[in-house]
Structure 1
């Protein structure tokens, strides 16, 4: 069968050449010419030759294997073979002559001009691609600008709550920005589509780029306008926060006018409305007005203290603390932070207040609030330390009144007047509590034949007392008595302790615990036994002077006894007397003071002297060891 095909092949080939050879050769020649002309764009002759050769091989194999009829496949084989031969020849000649523009272009100038036109198209395509790339970059810049505009839009939205009129302009800017953003998105899609189009769409892409650029300019202008609006709002807010005097005057004028403001815009109008609503019992609108006032971040104390009072009544202290916590987080005004910490409890509140004062040492209202932490109204009963802390804080607060140093913290001057009045009244009530000598403990030594009894006098109620000799060493607790102190409700500490009669001059340290268990002291008090003995005896003599002289005591008619003066003679320098109205010019000789046994009367000394029965009275004057003299005392004989 194979032999049959081989025998018939020449005749079949001749027949096919006669039928298809002419047009197949013509088509192959035209293809070779076209590929030669298009050579600047790529080696199309080589591509055609390779493809035609492969096709011829496949057709030949199919004919041999009888996969197709030879009569039907032979024309295709002849066409593929002709195309491969002609295109391969063209490519070979191009390589041989090193003709980059093709053989025909070298021979025919018109073809060269056509290739140049094709080159211009290529340049245009490259330019379009470059333009698209630049457009993409512009789109990315537009996106960044859009993100910035979005951020500014949020700031403007927040500012609209503060300035309604300015907010309307800002809203227009935001809408323009949004419209421009939509335009950018639409143009971006057009640009992406333009990348897939042919040369003629390059012109449209360029127009789109110009439109995008115009949109970007619009966005930039909108962004600048938005920034200007934000800066203007910020400047307005700072100006409002700084002009407390203006707000105070506006509030005073509105208060005189009465009634709520229908469309409030300024902080003084919101504060006025809050007070009006509060007085009328409309707590919801009062609360809203206070919150609107707080948004202006005005550094004035009284609006926030009133707002806090309203919140505590409605929501309790925890609710007020929560609301002011949110305000304090975003506020710059110290007044809001000060009122926020006032919503905490006891020790925590005091710690936060001290921290605030450390951070703002010249913030005057803080000192008034600090004084309240130690006041009798807050504590119920005050220790001396509490009174001193209260007085120190109030003194500091009142000191800022000079030259109007307090006015800048108050919108409502009536509250400032109330704070000042309360401060002055309390300072008068606590008196000279800040004088350290005025309220220091004192000691009263009392000598007996057994030794010294030291009695302690404290300036306030105490829950414990301790003492020591000298400036160093441990303290000894005096112990407790079997009775309660009504001032503290606790057992009363023993106010005295004993010392031996041999105690030399030294320092006695005293400290005590106040009603809140806080240690006060130590106070170092000088103890001189000689001076203490004289002062103690003098005190007794002055207190019991009616017992200095006794006529006819114990039935001993005609005798005058001076036993008491003799017993406390350690305080006496000399004693003079006179009879029946005469000047006290006669002296009673006293034995010397025996410091080891000061109250004993010497066994050989007579504590009396004799007078005539006619004597009816006696005058006596004592000169003490400290140089002072007693009044002339008169004693009648019964």
Structure 2
């Protein structure tokens, strides 16, 4: 150790030590004693710290003057230590009058005797003179108002329920007080405590601010803005975890909805996000929760933008604004300016989000003409999308010749610009309909050569079953193509075109194959692949039109086949209406049975038949009529048939009888598998013009259908549209 340092220690232990310690104790005591006037201890701590640093620097630089100020260095360090101890010991209970006065009542009494507290109050009153003048001016409006104000103040002290019923008055009072600023002496009302808390907070006096906030919270009002301001500096001082601890301690037994919400916002995401979602499910009209949740999806918190987050942010902001318009937001705010800021932010964000999320977008061909027009909502396709063909595209059109409901004219391919009715505008060929970005259905439009709408048919995205069937169909076609190619190769290798070889076993096994057959298989495979790629199936409503605009046929398709239909004349009269039950296999539709309600009319409007089919069988009893209205065929509940001529005379009876021997018939199909039925026997009674009965017994096997004969014959079934009901009924 150097000689200078040894001398300094010896000096410090000498008589200067008495001076140093005495000065330090006195300075620290005085600073704490004067605490009611201001936070003197804090100022003394800062000053002594600065002086200690300065003296210490001089001590090492100026060796020749060490002896002169060594006692001051020791004094400043001691004062810094003592004042630091006193300042760190301050809390909400002693910050007003000092640590010593709080610990020793005698010192507190001395403060009062010297008028320290009164001086403090006088200064506070002076700083808030304008506030008092406002309160006095309000109170002086009338003696009755003064009386009511005093009564309200006393009642508020005793009953929080009364305060809750005076929220409008509290709001108005806070707005008036906040305009003036300054501390309110002896606060009693909640808005006064909140005002003081904000003033202390703005001054950086968080100790007194916390004390005022805690006083405000005892009134248990459902305003959230005081809590949010309190949480802001609480998080700075304690961190989020510490802030949650404080809140759980302060509001441990408080089960109000606002408190549950305020505890949630103290968490970090994603925990906060999940808790807010759950909170909203239970309290779906608590507007502030939607605002807070929207911010969890905003770039300001996530740090990045995604389509899904934009959508969620917009949904929550729109709900927040909706609830605000219903008056379910502003009631949670004492400071209306803060509520207005929330609303301003929400409206601006909705505008920004909508500008890119909710719009109509168009795509164009190279010539600048429109290709598609798509509606977007929340950044994804929603609603209708229109698809057009351009002038250089080829379009399938129909020549307009409809002979009946099955011959619909010839299809031809024409360039759009070569159509007589092309006017420079692209032609609409499809309407797609989206829901939440997913294509739900499409409507394809086709036209007559002259420009009228020929039909529209609905398509939906292909189901897994349909795609699987198409893939199976593709596999079959590819296998058949392979067989044909192998056969052609064997035929060629064995030179089977040579007459001498054509009778050989190899050539007979090869069988031969034409290029035409192979090309057809290749075309089929290409077509099936395109079908799989397009992944659509014809399912849903359809309509066909005559050139005059009348509906020719309308109904519902199912997997490319009619499920229901209705045929009309060019004049708009109903001709036939029915329902079909389709049995689908991998390769095609196996069966198309009439199934359900059915009716058919003659061109003159006369009813031909009306009833209900069940898988191709018209359920008895029923009647079929001639065009003149006379009964043609009648079947009763006993399954007995009676046939009439157009004069109403009976010409045939078909009566069910027991078969002498039971016989069965089996068949196999791709869609229904193995089926077994029993032959049925009947007695035919033909009645001649002379009235003579000619009888004959017959048996008929099951599962019969005949597109040319009458499908109402026993064991026959009616398939497809417009079956034959009138001709060849045992003729």
Return the TM-score normalized by structure 2: 0.30
Larger radius of gyration: 1
Return the TM-score normalized by structure 1: 0.34
Q: Larger % of helix: which? A: 1
